[in-house]
Amino acid sequence: MPQIIGKEVGPIGFGLMGFTWRANPCSQGQAFEAMRAALKNGMNFWNGGEMYGTPEYNSLVLLEKYLEKYPEDADKFVLSIKGGATKDGGALDGSPENTRRSLDDSIAQLKGRKKIDMFEFARRDPKWPLETTFGIIQKEYVETGKIGGISLSEVRAETIHEAVKIVKVVAVEAELSLFSTEILENGVVAACAQYDIPIVAYSPIGRGMLTGQIKKHSDIPKDSMLQYFPRFSPENFDINLQLVKQVEELAKKKGVTPGQLAINWTRMVAKRPGMPTIIPIPGATTAARVEENSKLIDLTDEEMAQIDATLAKFTTAGERYPPTVSMNS
């Protein structure tokens, strides 16, 4: 079993973003059912965010309500929370004032029902030195026992090399999927391997596209944030659908769903020489989808080689994020 911050976690984790960060969130009852299914199926590394929704209804608010109903589950999962944006969820702000505000608000929203095991800024704020931001988190929150540790999110390799000189980095969250293999080549994976830092791989199913459920551009809901992502734009969608079709063929041959193939590919990449631990964190808002995502499937060397060959012939169309969102901070 992989470990994060000294605690054993399942090989596949669970992303909470989809429960609260959308125009029409699912009911709390449905969310609770999916969350319980995650624990039942060994997905006990949970990743949420202060900015995943409004201050009135974000990951922390949902978690507090869940733990009010199921207090016995508090010790059953490791909790990672993303923060560091301003209170309205707008700009990133690594100032001492906002660093304390983000942490204090996140801790307060849980109402003492659960300790945050690891806290990460959603991006590095270039306006403030890491020593300033991390110094506050380390001295005032980690060393006092208010949170467990510090992780990084959406950073470039240079930031990892710099951060490890200041604090113990317990994890690095980065996008990794068959659509997004950048960290395998840009030094992020190599840096994590060098320092034995686990990678938390978000969007392993390509924001849902690798499940095969999105067949045409009109399948994307009008109120979905995907409407603003370049890879889902009309001019890029059909190009990227070509990879989805190839994944579907490979999955059919393997006797698994496309989503299961995509999620487990990220796990199998970590088994190659010189790789760090990689824990994919697919999100899902129904118990049925959670159960599907939780299945552990080993891919043979031949199957991995076939996927390598497929990826070598394919270039993803469009950037990972809209121009307004920073990447590799």
* Residues acting as catalytic residues: 52
DSSP string, 154-198: S--HHHHHHHTTTS-EEEEEEE-SSS--GGGTSSHHHHHHHHTPP
**Are 269 and 184 contacting, i.e. CB atoms less than 8 angstroms apart?**
yes
> Amino acid identity, residue 62?
L
The first and second tokens of residue 233, run together, are 């734009």
First-to-last CA distance in the chain?
30
The first and second tokens of residue 43, run together, are 């997905």
DSSP letter (8 states) at residue 54: B
What distance in Å separates the CA atoms of residue 309 and residue 319, rounded to the nearest whole number?
22
3-state secondary structure of 138: helix
> Amino acid identity, residue 17?
M
**Are 206 and 178 contacting, i.e. CB atoms less than 8 angstroms apart?**
yes
Rg (CA), the chain: 19
> Amino acid identity, residue 30?
Q
Beta-bridge partners for 152: 172
The first and second tokens of residue 231, run together, are 């890879």
